[in-house]
Amino acid sequence: MGVSSFSIATPPNPIEEEDESQNSSLLSSNKTQSVNQSQNPKKTIFFISLIIITCISLSVAIAFGFLYYSSIKNVSPSKSVSPSMAETARPLVKLSQPVVLLISTDGFRFGYQFKTPTPNIHRLIHNGTEADLGLIPVFPTLTFPNHYSIATGLYPAYHGIINNHFTYPGTGETFYMGSHDSKWWLGEPIWETVMNHGLKAATYFWPGSEVKKGSWNCSADMCKHFNGSVAFEERVDTVLKYFDLTSNEIPSFMTLYFEDPDAQGHKVGPDDPQITAAVAKVDKMIGRLIDGLEKRGVFEDVTIILVGDHGMVGTCDKKIIYVDDLSPWIEIPPTSVQTYTPVLSMYPPPGISAADTVAKMMEGLKSGKVDNGMNMRVFLKEDLPARLHYAASERIPPIIGLLEEGFKVEQKKTKRKECGGSHGYDNSYFSMRSIFIGHGPQFGRGVKVPSFENVEIYNLITSVLKIQGAPNNGTESFLKSILLPSS
């Protein structure tokens, strides 16, 4: 398209037209007024007096308003949209070097913080920096891909954990959540980066942290192997004990992980009282942590980053697409399918190309003859929306089906009838968002920043620790938008 066709296609700017008409009416009223003024000087004096009185009244009102809001400001923290230009990072008081504590509360959907009183989470929010409308997970919005994206700053296609479980094409080897062989885990996780710089790291559970990789050997005292039976209190207390070490022994980077409220979310969906109780429990743990840090005099020195890996949405069996229902168009054997809900990932059936498989499946889904067929779209992975970043890995099967939120896909009809919750859907769904709260010397107080993807967090941590990170998918401009400049 040439320049001329563009200018022809561009409609006239309605705002400009509106301004013009306003200006002309103002001009005409001024003209009328000047005529009236010259004709009646008494009226002119009256109008001038009226204007002066109005100005004085307005000034008094503004002054009182200012005083009123100034007094309110002392009671509740102010909210701004970005860090103040005048504000700089606060110096460390007790610690000799920066410490980042990265906390994950699994499946903490954005909005859960309002389900029940969460005074401790809100203390961090009011005195720290929050992603205004939540943290955006990466696709697929599943636990392992997201935790490892937070740890590496890479999208799943680049860090290799493309799903919670998958089969490596060619060899037929299977990755599952307990796979600790480093060949699966690509990229450089933050604990390895920290060690590479001669600093110490300690992980109390995090997907990928048990994997020995480069300078990270997951030593018994600094790296806990996942065990869901360990009480949350014990996890918090163990992390607190690291702050009792001598200052040069305190790890510069630590993780803490709670599997709630994800566990409850799957069982009962996001709107059940069980979720409320789980959220209250997580808040209590944050309170326990804050208390412990305060007792040690380091609460204001420690950089706390509180996140979740994804959100949660309700599911019911009436919202299911059955692969077998596509058989009039194409027979898809279970052996072709790697994962069903909430991301259909599959290989073409033997003897059919991937492109033909997609075309036939879409023909069936759009026919109106497949139950809920309009709620799934099937793509060749290279044709998926680029914003999903879900193509550049041979681990990702060639055919991907995206589901509308809350829908499920299964091979065939069963008698199972149950409702619960799920995640893993397109990361553009608001229900998949989680929380981000940053609290510490380099975070402004009571600041809200626009939502961002969790691949930005790796750079955030390296920046606070003042170390050089490995190449990743984070954006350079992001740090300036969220961290206070050094004083």
Six-digit token string for 222: 């600094």
155 torsion bin: left (phi>0), alpha (psi -120 to 50), beta (else): beta
Q: How far is the CB of 480 from Zn ion (least distance, A)?
A: 30
Q: Give the residue with the Cβ less far from Zn ion, 145 or 438.
A: 145
Q: Give the residue with the Cβ less far from Zn ion, 104 or 303.
A: 104
Name which position in 188, 309, 426, 456 contacts Zn ion (CB under 5 A).
309
The stretch among 80-88, 140-148, 330-338, 434-442 that binds Zn ion (CB under 5 A) is: 140-148
Q: Give the residue with the Cβ less far from Zn ion, 107 or 397.
A: 107
CB 207 within 8 A of CB 148: yes
Q: Give the residue with the Cβ less far from Zn ion, 143 or 375.
A: 143
Six-digit token string for 69: 């809001």
Q: Give the residue with the Cβ less far from Zn ion, 282 or 484.
A: 282
Q: For residue 315, which of 174, 197, 418, 462 has the smallest C-alpha distance?
A: 418
Q: How far is the CB of 434 from Zn ion (least distance, A)?
A: 9
CB hemisphere CA count around 245 (13 angstroms): 17
Q: How far is the CB of 148 from Zn ion (least distance, A)?
A: 12
Q: Give the residue with the Cβ less far from Zn ion, 98 or 311.
A: 311
The stretch among 86-94, 98-106, 149-157, 290-298 that binds Zn ion (CB under 5 A) is: 98-106
Q: For residue 225, which of 196, 193, 255 has the smallest C-alpha distance?
A: 255
Q: How far is the CB of 281 from Zn ion (least distance, A)?
A: 16
Please state, as a whole number, how many other Cβ atoms lie within 10 Å of the Cβ of residue 46.
11
Q: How far is the CB of 262 from Zn ion (least distance, A)?
A: 5
d(CA 425, CA 315): 12
Q: How far is the CB of 144 from Zn ion (least distance, A)?
A: 8
Q: How far is the CB of 399 from Zn ion (least distance, A)?
A: 25
The stretch among 138-146, 216-224, 389-397, 465-473 that binds Zn ion (CB under 5 A) is: 138-146
d(CA 75, CA 128): 16
d(CA 162, CA 138): 10
Helix (H) or strand (E) holding 101: strand 100-105
d(CA 202, CA 209): 9
Q: CA distances (Å), 249 to each of 215, 246, 386, in order?
A: 17, 5, 44
d(CA 482, CA 444): 8
d(CA 386, CA 167): 24
Binding to Zn ion (CB under 5 A) within 261-300 occurs at 262
Six-digit token string for 171: 């060899």
Q: Catalytic: which of 141, 143, 193, 357?
A: 143
CB 357 within 8 A of CB 403: no
CA–CA–CA angle 466, 476, 480 (5° rounding):
70
Name which position in 143, 372, 431, 472 contacts Zn ion (CB under 5 A).
143
Residue 141 annotated in active site? no
**CB closest to Zn ion, residue no:** 143
What is the bridge-based pairing of β-strands 399-403 and 343-346?
Answer: antiparallel
The stretch among 128-136, 141-149, 216-224, 342-350 that binds Zn ion (CB under 5 A) is: 141-149
Q: Considering Cα of 144, then 146, then 150, then 155, what sign does the dihedral take?
A: positive
Q: 28: which strand partners?
A: none
Q: Give the residue with the Cβ less far from Zn ion, 282 or 399.
A: 282
The stretch among 143-151, 268-276, 365-373, 397-405 that binds Zn ion (CB under 5 A) is: 143-151
Q: Give the residue with the Cβ less far from Zn ion, 107 or 251.
A: 107
Q: How far is the CB of 336 from Zn ion (least distance, A)?
A: 27
Name which position in 89, 102, 106, 134 contacts Zn ion (CB under 5 A).
106
Q: Count the residues of the shown chain that bind Zn ion, applying the rule CB under 5 A.
A: 5
Query: Taking CB under 5 A as the rule, does residue 260 contact Zn ion?
Result: no
Six-digit token string for 410: 């299964």
Residues found near Zn ion in the complex (CB under 5 A)? 106-107, 143, 262, 309
Positions annotated as catalytic residues are 143
